[in-house]
Chain A
Amino acid sequence: EDSCVRLAGFCASISSNESFSPVTVNTSGCQDAAISETHLTLALPGRIESWHGQLGHGGLISEEEPRTVEALWGMTMRSVAAGGWHSICVGGGDLYVWGWNESGQLGLPSRGLRKDEELHEEVFISIQAFPALVDVSPSCEISTVSCGSRHTAAVTTGYLYTWGWEYGQLGHQTTSSLDEPQCVEFFRNENLHVVDVVCGSWNTFTAAVKK
């Protein structure tokens, strides 16, 4: 619809409101929407509204009404993506992340990914309740972003960066999960310019053109 998003389905919130008939939400000017099993995120001009699951409001309680993510108020967000337990959005060329980080999907230090010796050194984030800025690559702007169940992929100017849970979907030819964005060298080696990315739950699809 032009200015409305219709939703139906099971809302597993604490007060157990099951919604089996479509619910209309006024979202005029909505630029983007992302839906996952646990939450819905909308990108409206100048605002992000999200509810259910990891919402970026600073708490862990489900919300039944869309609510603006206050921390990002005033910034124009171009796109938004939702993973199984995390959300990301892109505004002003920057990447903001929030939600669960148990597999490093936020690109912030994750305790489970580090060996015992390193455990005393850093501050680990297991849940990021407010949006946090993540540095994907030193110079490039983010053009597209997508989330899988527990991993994240971002396209900059021709390069693909991936991080999070690894079952092969990060494309780095290793088997370790990553809690830091890492460039997928394959495209550089093959002289391919990455233009788009879409993630399935446990896999990643990219569109690339020969340079």
Chain B
Amino acid sequence: MASLWSKISAILPPTEEQFPLQFSDKVALSVVEMLKRARQQLYGDATSASSRILTAQIILDYSWERLNTGTWRHVDKEWRRVYSYGCLFKAAAICRRSPSEEEILQAIRTCDMGLLMGAAIMENILQVIVRILQREIRTLAKEEDAHENIEAKKRKIASPHVGLIKDELSVPRIKCPSLESFNANYLLPLKPVILEGIIDHWPALNQHPWSIEYLRSVAGCRTVPVEVGSRYTDEDWSQTLLTVNEFIDRYILNEVQDSESDHKAVGYLAQHQLFDQIPELKEDIRIPDYCCLGEDDEDDITVNAWFGPKGTVSPLHQDPQQNFLAQVVGNKYIRLYSPEDTEKLYPHQSQLLHNTSQVEVESPDAERFPEFVKAPYLECVLRSGDVLFIPVKYWHYVRSLEISFSVSFWWS
């Protein structure tokens, strides 16, 4: 059985000379020197593991500072590439000499940081390394007690009894419409609708049903961004990085109590391009055919994952693109307001939140926002297997009624 290092070596360029380190002059020469030193240490035998890790860490720390200076969209892509190289050198250094399971997890986390914050290098080599490392973890896990698998029961989620959606306010539903009829009746007039039956073929609902156990097995040790706090308009809202296992334990199953407070904090794996980071999950979903009615290439469609416990709330807001919101697991209560009624929805004045309403949809302050109750709306409970079409700029409010996993497709 080949050692882990030999598997990683095999996907790296065979020699130091063939290892690319090309950067624009945006990257300081001293940093390039550091990168060359790291490359030299990678291909040499004389260095100690701690030296290699130190060199990589310096590259990471320096580029991390660049990534955190100014606004994200102004960060030069070159610095994100440098950061990814830092992750590559660090992961390689960790895996050099028979790493323990803990060290392999650390290397996976390092690669994930590169995938999340960096930019693709060497044909997405970090992704390739993660795959190798995950296989290694699974091999090690198989050697552990088998009885653990028996104890992990598939959790059956009972459907909660939901308050009745009034017929006259409910979003219309249609089963597998033709492209032409969807285009004519909903896309062109920009009318919301729930499409039924159009994701029945997804592996996520068939061969690989997205249960908690499945998600753990495919992505448990991967690091993802999690939003903590009841909603993004709150003062105590923040983002943190957790492995999927930690997120599930702490925020989905609530097995780890937040000792500071009695009430459990809400954690939401929200608006994250999880499927770029974890290709195994991408294979469980499909881009809806109806997206071809837009102008975008498939590559330009933004696919986001939304995975969280009961009670996650997305405040009333609008997005600049068309949206197909596919519900895979669980149920969500959704309310929709037309962009024609925007003045009754009191959007925030600030540039940062101008696409978000100030109003608490399910308990509106009638004194501060008197027009709100006059705004007409549609509502629904989006169930597993449903896909909601949210037309561009249509205001939407979402609250999960139980553990939920949705996938959104933003297209134009």
Contacts and interface: CB of A to CB of B under 8 A. Distances in A.
A14 B70 contact: no
A85 B68 CA distance: 9
A12 B260 contact: no
B157 interface: no
Contacts of A186: none
Nearest to A14: B351
Contact of A14 (B68, B71, B259): B71
Nearest to A165: B61
B71 A37 contact: no
Contact of A167 (B61, B70, B71, B350): B61
Contacts of B259: 120
B260 A120 contact: yes
A67 B199 CA distance: 55
B65 A12 contact: no
A52 B71 CA distance: 11
A149 B65 contact: yes
A167 B74 CA distance: 27
Contact of B71 (A12, A85, A120, A150): A12
A149 B259 CA distance: 34
A15 B70 contact: no
A84 interface: yes
A146 interface: no
A143 interface: no
- What does DSSP make chain B's interface, helix, strand, loop or mixed? loop
A110 interface: no
Interface size class of B (residues with CB under 8 A): 10 to 19
A15 B69 CA distance: 16
B351 A12 contact: no
B46 interface: no
A38 interface: yes
Interface string B64-78: 010011110010000
Nearest to A85: B68
B366 interface: no
Interface string B329-358: 000000000000000000000111000000
B3 to A, nearest CB: 30
Contacts of B70: 10, 12, 37-38
Contact of B74 (A12, A61, A120): A12
Contacts of A10: 70
B352 A14 contact: yes
Contacts of A150: 65
A150 B350 CA distance: 30
A120 to B, nearest CB: 5
B65 A84 contact: yes
Interface string B35-77: 0000000000000000000000010010001001111001000
B69 A38 contact: yes
Interface string A34-68: 00011000000000000000000000010000000
A15 B71 contact: no
Interface of B: 58, 61, 65, 68-71, 74, 259-260, 350-352
Interface of A: 10, 12, 14-15, 37-38, 61, 84-85, 120, 149-150, 167
17 contacts: A10-B70, A12-B71, A12-B74, A14-B71, A14-B351, A14-B352, A15-B351, A37-B70, A38-B69, A38-B70, A61-B350, A61-B352, A84-B69, A120-B259, A120-B260, A150-B65, A167-B61
Given A37-B70, A84-B69, 20 more contacts: A10-B70, A12-B70, A12-B71, A12-B74, A14-B71, A14-B351, A14-B352, A15-B351, A37-B69, A38-B69, A38-B70, A61-B350, A61-B352, A85-B68, A120-B259, A120-B260, A149-B65, A150-B65, A167-B58, A167-B61
